[in-house]
Structure 1
Amino acid sequence: MREPEGLYELTPAASDVPHGLPLVAGLTGFADAGGAVQQLAEYFADAASPVPVAVFDPDELLDYRARRPIIEFDEDHLASFTEASLVLSLCRDEIGRPFLLLSGFEPDFQWNRFAAAVLGLIERFGVSSTTWVQAIPMPVPHTRPMQVTVGGTRQALIDSMSAWRPTTRAPSNVLHLVEFRLAELGHEVAEFVLLVPHYLADTELPAAMAKGLEVVSAATGLLFAIDPVRDRSRDFFARVDEQVGANTELAGLVRTLEERHDAYMAGNPVRSPLTDVEGEVPSADELAAELEKFLALRRAHDDEA
């Protein structure tokens, strides 16, 4: 394997990184239900004053034909060409405490070399803990607090926050490989999987962003401005509730999700929060079809704003 350091370039700011900071990570490109990771990246870009420390080379890691760069065409010329980025940055929370943030696209190529590069940077900066976030769609109701599955080596977080603990096989994220390597080294690492209502998975869901900030704060002690995000989430769900309340069949489906969620959370011996005792999953197609009207109205409203 070629030297992992060849995948990135350090910036002058690398010499200013304090030793022993927590690392927060989230990469886009796979299973980002509710746009959670993308929203977190945008939040940190706006609110955390990111300063690039290490910039990864997209020509080494990205499949451009699968995820093509975005252009802006203005009548008769190209006004912009936006390339994908993958960057380790030095950031600060609401009260100025520093942390490291790894954000951008998930690599398509050279996973082992990339993981080795990340581990090298973690060692270089003496990272104290690594926390990463992803989000997946689940048949859970929007009317209940969003739950998480917690993995990694931080047992206290797992015991206190992990609502669903499956034994399963699933496609991986490159950060799973990083987590696996860190666990082998005895490093403190926590993975948070946000369980997003499946019928809202294709929306930009404020509740997913709020939950992401909450779990990062719980794992790192960093402070973020979550209240404005929660306000947007309440407004969003109020509009969803209007649609649900106006449709008897849809309301019945949501009640079914609520009953199964509540039974599971109360300790009822249901196999998982996803299925009933017969192993049947509620009809996502019916629920999604009914909510499509709401989502179309919401997109139209956003376009007008």
Structure 2
Amino acid sequence: MSDSIFSAEYADRRAQVPRGIPLIVALQGLSDAGGAISQLEEYLWERCKPEVIVRFNTDLLLDYRSRRPVITFENDHFTDYEPEELTLSLAHDELGSPFLLLSGFEPDYRWELFIDTVLLLVHEFEVSITAWSHAIPMPVPHTRPISMTVSGSREDLIEARSAWRPNTKLSASAAHVLEYRLHSLGEEVAGLALLIPHYLASTEYPEALYAALDGLMAATGLIFATDDVRARARTFTEQVDAQISENHESLEMVRTLEKRYDTYMEDHETRSPLISDDGSLPSADQIASELERFLAQQRGPGDFGYPEAPGDPGPDSDEAAPDHGE
């Protein structure tokens, strides 16, 4: 087995990649509330027909015992084996514009080597901007548009779209570190942290996919088809609304979250969406503790599902989350 971090088998393809195009990063990592990134990766592979140009060495980067690959057994023998993959691919948007896609598992090992390699590839392909997204559960209502925290070098995006701007420490992902390194080097980079309703965090939430696509389009100038996604989001929202309407406690919870959200939108520069009805604001330590508690949760062996929603709805709220289904 080679000790190289990626295979050299696609050298010819790499040579033909156009320069100066965007890079989208969609890594399956620590935080994926609403299944936002798993949906995004599936969407991009189905709609944008990526062609692999770099395949990273799984043996060097993956902890197989924490994320075991899938193998198929039929009657008396094994018929198929699906190892985890981490690749860089060339893809095209709805109008045929090219972009690079870094997708697959988040490395368990050798982060510095992996990130240094990505930085070299960014330089090689003269990437115009690197954009990535992740999603965290927050006490926000599903009846309002998904808010986000925007980070990186794009001041226009931060000013126009960043709804929550905390000062905190959190458990880093490989994508966080990649963004930090890119920004430090003066490269264009945009990170989109989607704020997903905590009571929908463990579902496959179509609105999360739409928010991710919308943010990535704004960051990169690429065009992605969203009609089907928005239709699925409307159907899902109708189902959630119907279930919540049958539960008084859940209905009151959503109304409370709506009040906080609307108050925040009236003056987002001075108010937080977490402000209570009495005007009290959780301390920075309280917000940091809640965020770190979720991000510190580690996936157990054999767990291929989405992260669980937090144990409580968030600061100043003790309502129970509604039970909902697909």
Q: Do these two structures clear the TM 0.5 threshold for a shared fold by scoring above it?
A: yes
Tell me if the contact between 2:217 and 2:223 (Cα under 8 Å) persists in the aligned partners: yes
Aligned to 1:130: 130
Q: Which residue of 2 aligns with 1:69?
A: 69
User: For residues 52 and 183 of structure 1, what CA distance do their matches in structure 2 show?
Assistant: 26
Task: Report if the CA contact (8 A) 2:29-2:173 is conserved.
Answer: no
Instruction: Indicate the residue corresponding to 1:59 in structure 2.
Output: 59
Who is 2:6 aligned against? 8
> Shift of the alpha carbon at 1:246?
1.1
DSSP-derived class of the 1:123 partner: helix
1:70 shift after superposition: 1.2
Q: Tell me if structure 1 keeps the 8 A contact 2:34–2:204.
A: yes
Q: Which amino acid aligns with 1:72?
A: T
Structure 1 residue matching 2:26: 3-state secondary structure? strand
Q: 1:265 to 1:71 in 2, by over 3 A?
A: same
Q: Aligned pairs, how many? A: 287
* C-alpha contact 1:23 1:99 (8 A) present in aligned 2: yes
1:242 match: 242
Matching residue's letter, 1:38: S
267, 270, 282: which one aligns with 2:317: 282
AA matched with 1:161: R
Matched position secondary structure for 1:151? strand
Q: 1:55 to 1:202 in 2, by over 3 A?
A: same
TM-score (norm 2): 0.85
> Is 1:78–2:78 an aligned residue pair?
yes
Contact map agreement 1:150 1:193 (CA 8 A) in 2 = yes
Moved over 4 A (4+): 268-271
SS where residue 219 of structure 1 aligns? Answer: helix
Instruction: Tell me if the contact between 2:151 and 2:191 (Cα under 8 Å) persists in the aligned partners.
Output: yes
Alignment-mate amino acid for residue 318 of structure 2: S
Q: Secondary structure at the match of 2:4?
A: helix
Amino acid at match of 1:7: I
Task: Work out the CA distance in 1 between the residues paired with 2:208 and 2:78.
Answer: 35
In the alignment, is the contact (CA less than 8 A) between 1:32 and 1:136 conserved in 2? yes
Structure with greater proportional helix content: 1
Give the letter aligned to residue 17 of structure 1.
V
Once the two structures are TM-superposed, the CA of residue 268 in structure 1 deviates from its matched residue by: 7.1
The one-letter amino acid paired with 1:71 is I
d(CA) in 2 for partners of 1:111, 1:25: 15
Three-state SS of the structure 1 residue aligned to 2:49 is coil
Aligned match of 2:180: 180
Change (3 A) 1:281 1:59: farther
Query: Partner residue of 1:232?
Result: 232
Provide, for residues 31-72 of structure 1, a one-character-per-residue CA deviation record: whole Å limited to 9, x for no partner.
111111111110111110100011101100011101111122
Q: Cα distance, 1:269 vs. partner?
A: 8.3
Q: Deviations over 1:100-148 (max 9, x none)?
A: 0000000011111111000000011111111011111111100000011
Please, what is the CA RMSD of the aligned residues?
1.5
1:36/1:212 contact within 8 Å kept:
yes
Residue by residue over 1:136-173, the C-alpha shift from the partner in whole angstroms, topping out at 9 and shown as x without a partner, is 11111000000110000111110111011111111111
Distance 1:195 1:258 in 2: 14
Secondary structure, aligned partner of 2:164? coil
CA distance in 2, matches of 1:190, 1:35: 20
Residue 32 of structure 1 is matched in structure 2 by 32
Gaps of 5+ in 2: 283-314
| CA distance in structure 2 between the partners assigned to 1:8 and 1:114 by the alignment | 10
Equivalent residue, structure 2, for 1:216: 216
Shift of the alpha carbon at 1:228?
Answer: 0.7
Contact 1:24 1:132 in 2 (8 A): yes
Give the distance between the partners of 1:142 and 1:216, measured in 2 at CA.
21
Q: Give the aligned residue type for 2:7.
A: E
**2:6 counterpart letter in structure 1:** Y
* TM score, norm. by length of structure 1: 0.91
**Residue correspondence of structure 1 range 186-205 to structure 2 within 5 A:** 186-205=186-205
1:41 aligns to what? 41
* Contact 2:139–2:197 (CA under 8 A) maintained in structure 1: yes
Percent of aligned pairs with the same residue? 47
Aligned to 1:303: none
d(CA) in 1 for partners of 2:168, 2:132: 20
Distance in 2 of aligned mates of 1:101 and 1:82: 20
1:146 and 1:120 mapped to 2: Cα distance?
Answer: 34
2:141 — aligned with what? 141
Measure how far apart 1:9 and its partner are: 1.9
